[in-house]
Amino acid sequence: MNRIRTASFLIIIVSFIASTVNAQQWQFVNKKDSIYIYTRKDVGKKLKSFKAVTRIKAPAEKIFALLEDVNKTDWWDKSLSQIKVLRYVKNKLAQYYLVYDLPWPVIDRDVCVTVIDSVDRRKGIYTLKATPLSGVIAIQKDKVRITDYYQTWIVKSIAKDLSLVELEGYVDPAGSIPDWVFNMVIFKIPTNCIKGVRREMKKKISDN
């Protein structure tokens, strides 16, 4: 009897692992301006996650310096109508409040996030992980608060002046929204973010 129970338990575990692995396989869906977009359906999520990948001609540490500095946000996605920095500890942590301006009649969305930085200089890998922050900004009557969210920037050094940049994330806009909003979240926002980084790094290099 114990052997049967053990075998049954192992089958359940293996089945769960297999389903999780299958759910987490990234599927290529689009390429534009040398930016590759992938999506996947994660277990327990009703929407798809996204990942945007590209190469940028700049040192990884300089790209990281741009990404982690929340006091310089003019290159961020233009759909953000408000960016309020709540806390900033250089190269360690940042907290901020964002408002996404969506065309009428869709209600604007807002979100509070915490960003944790990590650096592995030996491997040349720089990471910024953003997750929801609650209890800091009161919920606004004229906005829908995003609570199911994550975003991760990973910058890997390939050569002295060449880096692999990945932007991975998930956003549940909440409430009733049209399909084009989902497409904006999956395709437009990550593409525009990476384009912004690319423009800024190109500008910095040309200025030097």
CATH number assigned to the domain comprising residue 27: 3.30.530.20
pLDDT digits 0-9 by tens, 145-156: 999 999 999 999
d(Cα 186, Cα 127) in Å, to the nearest integer?
20
pLDDT (0 to 100) of residue 1: 52
d(Cα 10, Cα 8) in Å, to the nearest integer?
5
| Sign of the four-CA dihedral 130, 146, 79, 51 | positive
Predicted model pTM: 0.83
Give the chain's domain count: 1
Paired tokens of 116? 């944790």
pLDDT digits 0-9 by tens, 1-45: 545 444 433 333 333 344 444 457 999 998 989 999 999 988 888
The distance of Cα 34 from the centroid of its chain, to the nearest Å, equals 18
With a pLDDT cut of 70, the percent of the chain lying above it is: 85
Question: Given a cut of 70, is residue 108 above it in pLDDT?
Answer: yes
Question: Given a cut of 50, is residue 164 above it in pLDDT?
Answer: yes
Mean pLDDT over 128-154 rounds to 94
| Sign of the four-CA dihedral 77, 81, 87, 90 | positive
Mean pLDDT over 139-162 rounds to 94
pLDDT band at 74 (very low <50, low <70, confident <90, very high): confident
pLDDT (0 to 100) of residue 17: 41
Amino acid, single-letter form, for residue 107: I
pLDDT (0 to 100) of residue 195: 93
pLDDT (0 to 100) of residue 179: 67
d(Cα 196, Cα 202) in Å, to the nearest integer?
10
Name residues whose C-beta falls within 8 Å of residue 156's C-beta, 6 or more positions apart in sequence.
60, 123, 124, 125, 126, 163, 164, 165, 166
pLDDT (0 to 100) of residue 48: 87
Range of the domain at 116: 2-207
Mean pLDDT over 193-197 rounds to 93
